[in-house]
């Protein structure tokens, strides 16, 4: 098959050209890879590159008769052409690996899914996103599968609190109040979104990390139709992300055979069958 018909090659308005899409695993490419993309774009395209909403990179305006050479050069440099069609698309990961709000390393988690399932052909496209904290820069709810990390604070009953108020100043939800300068703080858990910022702020160790994990959203989508994913009843741990994603991917492979996106399929049949497989 010619390279023009494979995943990662997109038609343009002008039929003489194609756009090449390069998968950026978890939105990351190193400087050598970026230099190669830049060089191929200059050599075969018009020296332009663009970025997709899933952080992939595209080289537009590649003449049809130069497509094979351009793709071969990119692949020889270890780059993967893809991220289109009915397949496991690039997993979106936020910057939690170095973001001060990061609760889990969303990039590492996304790379694990990529390594195991990235590019797998399915009856329909599958999009996943991982947000490393409740700020949810990954817009998890707008994906077939979305994860949002949380960290619930716990307050010690010791007298270590000196009433400095640092935790109160970082809490955007106004969930913390001083009881009495000598009687520590209280957290209103009905307001708390488990961002963990107060845990990091308290220098006295009076607020400690409690439960940590991920909320899971299933069956969302964006684009032509916008649908918010359903909050799955069980939270999961960081170590379970890949297996959980694998079960949802297998389910789509088995059940979405009528080319129905997961959201439409779940609207039609309900979530019970999928929930049973997820355990």
Question: x/- contact string, 232-251, with ligand SF4 (CB under 6 A)?
Answer: --------------------
Question: x/- contact string, 157-186, with ligand SF4 (CB under 6 A)?
Answer: ----xxxxxxx--xx-x-xx--------x-
Is residue 131 within 8 Å of 94, Cβ to Cβ? yes
Give 247's contacts (C-beta < 8 A, 6+ positions apart): 277, 278, 279
| Number of chain residues interacting with ligand SF4 (CB under 6 A) | 39
CB of 135 to ligand SF4, least distance (A): 4
HSE at residue 160, side-chain half, CA atoms within 13 A, is: 11
**131 lies in the binding site for ligand SF4 (CB under 6 A):** yes
Determine which residue in the list 137, 248, 252, 256 makes contact with ligand SF4, applying CB under 6 A: 137
User: Across-strand partners of 20?
Assistant: 9, 59
Q: 72 vs 179, which CB is nearer to ligand SF4?
A: 179
Rg (C-alpha) for the chain, rounded Å, is 22
User: Across-strand partners of 186?
Assistant: 177
The one-character DSSP state at 90 is P
**135 lies in the binding site for ligand SF4 (CB under 6 A):** yes
CB of 87 to ligand SF4, least distance (A): 25
Q: 39 vs 152, which CB is nearer to ligand SF4?
A: 152
Is residue 20 within 8 Å of 81, Cβ to Cβ? yes
Judged by CB under 6 A, the chain residues 200 through 219 that form the site for ligand SF4 are 201-202, 204, 206-207
Judged by CB under 6 A, the chain residues 42 through 101 that form the site for ligand SF4 are 94-96, 99, 101
Is residue 75 within 8 Å of 81, Cβ to Cβ? yes
Question: In whole angstroms, what is the distance from residue 181 CA to residue 184 CA?
Answer: 6
Question: In whole angstroms, what is the distance from residue 107 CA to residue 132 CA?
Answer: 9
Determine which residue in the list 8, 118, 132, 219 makes contact with ligand SF4, applying CB under 6 A: 132
Residues engaged in binding ligand SF4 (CB under 6 A):
94-96, 99, 101-102, 131-133, 135-137, 153, 161-167, 170-171, 173, 175-176, 185, 187, 192-198, 201-202, 204, 206-207
């Amino acid at each position: 098959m010619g390279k023009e018909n494979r995943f990662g090659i997109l038609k343009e308005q002008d039929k003489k050209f194609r756009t090449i899409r390069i998968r950026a695993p978890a939105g990351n490419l190193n400087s050598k890879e970026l230099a190669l993309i830049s060089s191929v774009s200059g050599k075969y395209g018009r020296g332009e590159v663009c970025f997709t909403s899933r952080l992939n990179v595209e080289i537009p305006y590649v003449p049809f008769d130069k497509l094979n050479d351009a793709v071969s050069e990119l692949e020889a440099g270890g780059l993967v052409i893809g991220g289109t069609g009915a397949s496991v698309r690039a997993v979106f990961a936020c910057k939690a690996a170095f973001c001060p709000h990061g609760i889990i390393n969303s990039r590492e988690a996304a790379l694990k899914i990529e390594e195991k399932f990235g590019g797998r052909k399915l009856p329909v496209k599958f999009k996943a996103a991982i947000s490393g904290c409740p700020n949810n820069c990954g817009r998890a709810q707008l994906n077939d599968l979305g994860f949002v990390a949380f960290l619930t604070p716990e307050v010690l009953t010791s007298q270590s609190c000196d009433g400095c108020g640092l935790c109160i100043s970082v809490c955007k939800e106004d969930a913390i109040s001083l009881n009495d300068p000598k009687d520590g703080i209280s957290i209103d858990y009905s307001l708390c979104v488990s961002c963990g910022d107060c845990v990091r702020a308290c220098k006295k160790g009076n607020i400690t990390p409690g439960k940590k994990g991920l909320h899971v959203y299933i069956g969302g989508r964006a684009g032509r139709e916008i649908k918010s994913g359903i909050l799955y009843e069980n939270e999961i741990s960081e170590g379970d992300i890949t297996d959980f994603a694998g079960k949802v991917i297998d389910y789509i492979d088995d059940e979405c055979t009528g080319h129905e996106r997961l959201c439409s399929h779940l609207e039609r049949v309900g979530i019970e069958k999928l929930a049973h497989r997820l355990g």
